[in-house]
Amino acid sequence: MNFEEKPYLREIELKRDEIDSFDQFPFCVPAIKELDFLEFHPDVTFFVGENGAGKSTLIEAIAVAMGLNAEGGNKNTGFATERTHSELDGFIKTIKSFKKPKDYYFLRAESFYNVATYMDQLVPPPIQGYGGKSLHKQSHGESFMATITNKLRGHGLYIMDEPEAALSPARQMAAISAIHQLVEDGSQFIIATHSPILLAYPRAKIYQFSESGIYETSYEDTEHYEITRDFLNRHEQMMKILMEE
């Protein structure tokens, strides 16, 4: 592969001059309010931050701006359980490579059940793309792994929102292996996550979402790494502190 083709999605810019007010959601979210542009790594870019920091709001907007369903799936996944996504996608400018990816997928933990239901309702259900078995007949974690290892075909742009939600630590490590194989096969990932295991993927670009905006950071400087490390190294003392009245 010509690796100059990647990243397929090079950058996004917020069309700030088209926004009427930064006092309304989603533009009032500090990370969005301070956003000018973000550049993506050719292989893996992570979004990290506290709940409510705007990671899912932005990653959803990126997926929709790239023509994907807000609830997940590929470009052929055409359903809407309920329109709940923000209008942010209409205010994002996407700057792409000269080469389009051959595959797309938005894996969203929050609404993956809806995607699985939609797949079962199709005639015939496209189970071969998910390992030959209905997603509803697999555990939550098995269905996630079936999607990552079977549905994602490579040379793709893959956007994920908290994929670790259904995965055990061992399965998260298996997911890293699968992601790396897809990267080696010419794929690009943009992932919002709380997982210190996934975040350890080498050479990834990590964006921290905070009250002061979005900034690039290193793995060891993320709260996810620091808090997990400190807890595991001092779990007995930490439990005593946490359980004090």
Residue 161 gets the label, from left (phi > 0), alpha (psi -120 to 50) or beta, of beta
Question: What single DSSP character describes residue 114?
Answer: H
- For residue 225, being part of any structural domain is answered with no
CA dihedral 45, 49, 52, 55 (to 10 degrees): -10
Please tell me the predicted confidence (pLDDT) of residue 43: 98
Say how many domains are in the chain: 1
- For residue 50, being part of any structural domain is answered with yes
Beta-bridge mates of residue 226: none
Q: Which residues of 209-242 are buried (b: 16+ CB within 10 A; e: fewer)?
A: bbeebbeebebeebebbeebeeeeeeeeeeeeee
- For residue 239, being part of any structural domain is answered with no
Q: Which amino acid is at 17?
A: D
- For residue 14, being part of any structural domain is answered with yes
**Domain harbouring 28, CATH code:** 3.40.50
Per the structure, the complete domain to which residue 195 belongs is given by 3-219
Please tell me the predicted confidence (pLDDT) of residue 1: 47
Please tell me the predicted confidence (pLDDT) of residue 206: 98
- Cα–Cα distance for residue pair 56/48, rounded to 1 Å: 10
- For residue 139, being part of any structural domain is answered with yes
> Around Cβ 243, how many Cβ atoms within 10 Å?
7
- 130-148: per-residue pLDDT in tens? 777 777 788 878 888 989 9
- Enter the pTM of the model: 0.92
- For residue 60, being part of any structural domain is answered with yes
- For residue 228, being part of any structural domain is answered with no
> Around Cβ 134, how many Cβ atoms within 10 Å?
15
Please tell me the predicted confidence (pLDDT) of residue 72: 84
Q: What is the mean pLDDT of each run of 10 residues along the chain (245 residues)?
A: 76 97 94 96 97 94 93 76 79 95 90 71 71 79 89 95 93 97 97 97 97 96 94 90 80
- For residue 236, being part of any structural domain is answered with no
